[in-house]
Structure 1
């Protein structure tokens, strides 16, 4: 099982493959999942001197970590005002103090390990109506309260200066955000783990776990004995391996296309300062330029992670609605991938046993939050669980309708929010 056909796979840096686990080994920490959550956890832990094994069912970065829009977006899928309303002032204080840490970790990793992943600073939240612009104005004040002073509110003239589209009435520019080639970031982090003595095994899916002290994680052709186990597979964890992880989350699909390379002048006429953009709709669109001047455009959600039959038909009309000047442009790559959604849209952390942890459900903010998650689990294993528990203490409810009906019921709810988006209310 190689990486899916995507722009990212086609432009991945040269890298050595990792072996398949075909023996019984011992380690301090066994991490299940070789995406950003697992890689970030492994890198923080190996830097701290732990012996770490990562089990990946396919290839490093095979899932959402190597397929996403490549946007480095701060905060969470619910902003800090909603967090305070739902969970109280102390939760807001704790989570607010970490809102911008994930992006800082990514920049540090890129610099420290010289990871070539086309990082560019700057991201824009684009408002399609005045209600959304007012929300961004309030968001700017909240983010500044928690220490982000690299923000600029854009009026209609300002957004037209940054995005050559007539769809938007304003926006918020965050210079602490940015965009990058996510698969190359994952591959670079895996090499950093190798440098610190960590072991990664590809094509080595966990098939069963015997919990105990120590734990035993079995694969098709090997076994890992570990003091600690960390579930880090998000939407790609098999419910058969650990059914307790699936009840309060739902895999969802997102689709992306890239154009053929544009001329440099044409590319920069669309996004003159090469910022990435996401709009403020409930079912949002997102786009950016790649290093070779393609427009990468994604949007929409398919609940239950079904594979769409025609990605171009889903996404190209969105692209042309935003940039009608690209009428007739050819599409070079199209692909889909799954992320894990929670009902609250907040990350889901916890302990399954006294020495087994899970981190999942980033709900669309996975690029940045997974990097913070890795730092928090490393702190926890070293004896300081305060920040991990700030997330673990957030209550999570199952999706209504149970296993059979949660997908159609959630889709019906999304139709309501999409209608609100179109009406601007």
Structure 2
């Protein structure tokens, strides 16, 4: 049994935000049916690949695992088949621009007539008019746009450098995660009342929520927060420092951590002269130089050994380091899946959601385009829990 194995999701999304949202639901056991436009999700052909005959690239594999695929033209003969699927669905998720589903004649109000208990969720750059109308709706948006508008880029990067986007696509991923939370809340409400509803998360909104610190700082002080590199505006030491063989981060802003750091540095004078948070913030630049001079003489491993257990610290790792970390494997955060068209498995990120009784299962590969048409639209289409579907698939 899995937590959502009685939930069917019709996933009309593509690229990243929507697929990541429905991937989270799939990992938790939901039957996610990926409804793909003619030709398939735009990111199917995106690299990287293992070989020349791969069915799809790593981008698609990573966020579409565990789903079933139907290729459908919602403007043509497949429209009625889609409406029939809606009648038996729990959730519909789409990430088109506002107004697109209305052009198909498949907007929330139409689908609700077919299934009053339906939870309909949208992910858009600027939200949907149903939840707050603005003149931005209908405009295209991508992660870069959301990070720029929401304030992320203004507070990211070095002080003397330009605004910088965060590496991962947080405009997509954080919005997708919030959308999944909204879907689960709406399903809980439906289970209590029998009433479906509309769930809407906007990328711009999500980035403002993620930048909550800048909101209260501006409100409280009138200042406009900007870039501080790896430093923190109200905590010190809380920064990255260069080691002899790389970089480490040290978070010693508590009085106890500060004293332990000074002891490891053999600098009890610093602990005595700057005993309070206010003292350290006032003299952060010369103190940062003192710490940097110490870390530069040691390897990252030596710094870790000197501080571990008394001061929060860690090396700055790259992807190869993550793959080698025993902690990551113990937490099942790297999952091997089949790569159709290749003679070897590939590795994708596991699920960070851990449940003791209904653990997620992120180990199924992404679907081939239209792979599940017969089982979904043919005679005897099953809505069995995932484990039963796996058994049936394995017997074929």
TM over 0.5: no
With normalisation by structure 2, the TM-score equals: 0.24
- Structure 1 or 2: more strand by fraction: 1
With normalisation by structure 1, the TM-score equals: 0.23
Q: Which has the higher contact order (CA 8 A, sep 6+)?
A: 1
